[in-house]
């Protein structure tokens, strides 16, 4: 038998969650709320919400971004926080793409080497030979 008072309380909680843009599961799961993390970039403080498990990565990312933006600002060639942020973002994106391309190249080379070794082993097995790897 259900408790009508409990059902009304749950419905009110779901209505409040819906008003705040949350679903019923999110309203009930307070443990998964993101933590507010304070990061400092170019002498400005920013409050960023992130899951507790990602806090260290966020702090490290913010420190990296702050260092890159400081490098750009210190050259004196770029003026204004917005322009400095865009230049830093472009530089970081460029680094990321270079690393991704290098990773693809290494993966391709490793795949080619494995195929070549497999062919050598298969040939040796067919011919009954012993090979040195």
Structural domains of the chain sorted by starting position, each given as residue range(s) with its CATH number in brackets: 33-127 (3.30.160.880)
| Alpha carbons 81 and 59: distance in angstroms, whole number | 20
**Is 50:35 a contact under the CB 8 Å cutoff?**
yes
Return the structure tokens found at 20.
């705040």
**Is 65:41 a contact under the CB 8 Å cutoff?**
yes
Distance of CA 69 to the CA centre of its chain: 20
**Is 62:86 a contact under the CB 8 Å cutoff?**
no
Query: Residue-wise pLDDT tens for the chain (133 aa)?
Result: 444 444 444 444 444 444 444 444 444 344 568 899 999 999 999 999 999 999 999 999 999 999 999 999 999 999 999 999 999 999 999 999 999 888 777 777 777 788 888 887 778 778 877 666 6
């Amino acid at each position: 038998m259900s408790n009508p008072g409990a059902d009304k309380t749950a419905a009110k909680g779901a209505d409040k969650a819906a008003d705040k843009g949350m679903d019923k599961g999110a309203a009930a799961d307070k443990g998964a709320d993101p933590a507010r993390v304070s990061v400092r970039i170019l002498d400005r403080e920013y409050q960023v919400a992130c899951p507790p498990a990602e806090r260290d990565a966020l702090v490290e990312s913010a420190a990296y971004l702050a260092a890159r933006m400081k490098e750009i600002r210190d050259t004196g060639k770029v003026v204004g926080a917005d322009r400095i942020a865009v230049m830093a973002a472009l530089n970081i994106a460029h680094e990321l793409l270079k690393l991704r391309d290098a990773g693809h190249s290494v993966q391709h080379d490793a795949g080619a080497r494995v195929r070549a070794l497999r062919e050598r082993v298969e040939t040796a097995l067919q011919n009954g030979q012993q090979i040195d790897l």
